[in-house]
Structure 1
């Protein structure tokens, strides 16, 4: 009887929280909703040390935080989410730590693409961007499979930046531009901004409206340097596994406050490159 009573309380609390979340999102929808929100997942290892657990468990809790925010973004009407999962610089960490991250990444990718997983439930298309040849082969194969299996989904796009830095992205795009022009006999033609952007890893998504980095850090850490010149930057002090709905709501409210200014800036930048 006690277990049934506790189960009933849990369901009632869950229903109440869901109702409050829907009410809050309806309130936010009166203003402009960001199309694209990017996240730097900072603080997984510090969270693990804070709670005296190993790093792998810290990353697992961080993954659950990502799933919570992805669900909230979907309900709010956000169309693109980008997450900075692993930098090229991170490959310089201890080999066993890199191996642990690769194994966990493989586990989570395979879990996400299960038939009953959240990707199918919410119609999420996955895009992995970065220098993917640097990944362990099983991870790269799993990433390619996830992109192939979710290519038909249209509700939300989850962009996973892995083995990524902006300097590598820009260098790669410039090289691709030159090779493309040479292949078409246009060696003398100047490279335009639009040419570079077309060859960017992040060409799969519009520029982010909001970039949220946890841990109170205000550095971009070589992430989306090209794409965030007119994005709202928000740096809550919490560690990534501690991030929650109220941080997303606060970011959206601040975005709505400055959205018209950011929109004008983007239009001016677009016109100046034409």
Structure 2
């Protein structure tokens, strides 16, 4: 979900309309992925550095997230038909209580679904995820839950938020050619 603002500007529409259009396109992409047998899809919905945007845009994006998370969990034919499990990945400490409530609701409503898993990266950055995983490794070592000699790639990977399987392909829908902020 990349390039929604550029799309809105190019189409002479309000920025938030571009984000709404991006959400509706997501439903089509998930259908295509399901038809192709892709069982795990991760979408980068809101980067931590997006908090630097205008207060109006951030507020609109938070409202959109709350509405669409609830809509996906409660009313989405796609989620129901294909048994989609929703997981939200990111720094939850940066989200307001109302957004966290919607996140928790969507995850709880879909937790037993066994079809496709939809990882929504929200308030996310790769550097934040890696830093948080390193902190957990250090904490576990300090608390005796992890021996220093056991600190390796697997110890770090097991503390990342995005679960297995690893990323196979990254598609930037905006046409940008960069992988910043995504592990």
Name the TM tier (shorter chain): over 0.9
Pick the structure with greater CA Rg: 1
Structure 1 residue ranges, 4+ long, deviating more than 4 angstroms after superposition: 185-188
Aligned pair 1:223/2:177, yes or no?
A: no
Cross-structure match for 2:48: 88
Q: Given the superposition, is the C-alpha separation of residues 175 and 122 from structure 1 closer, same or farther in structure 2, using an over 3 Å criterion?
A: same
Q: Given the superposition, is the C-alpha separation of residues 210 and 186 from structure 1 closer, same or farther in structure 2, using an over 3 Å criterion?
A: closer
Give CA-to-partner distance per residue, 1:159-209, whole Å, 9 cap, x none: 00111111111110011111112222656435211000000011x231121
Aligned pair 1:136/2:117, yes or no?
A: no
SS at 1:200 equivalent: coil
Give CA-to-partner distance per residue, 1:81-132, whole Å, 9 cap, x none: 0000111111111111100100111111111111554211210001111101
Instruction: Count how many residue pairs are aligned between Structure 1 and Structure 2.
Output: 183
Q: Given the superposition, is the C-alpha separation of residues 64 and 191 from structure 1 closer, same or farther in structure 2, using an over 3 Å criterion?
A: same
Q: TM-score, normalised by structure 1?
A: 0.64
Gaps of 5+ in 1: 1-40, 225-274
Cross-structure match for 2:106: 146
Gaps of 5+ in 2: none
Contact 2:90–2:129 (CA<8 Å) still a contact in 1? yes
Q: TM-score, normalised by structure 2?
A: 0.94
Superposed CA RMSD = 1.5
Query: How many angstroms apart in 2 are the aligned matches of 1:69 and 1:116?
Result: 14
Query: How many angstroms apart in 2 are the aligned matches of 1:70 and 1:131?
Result: 24
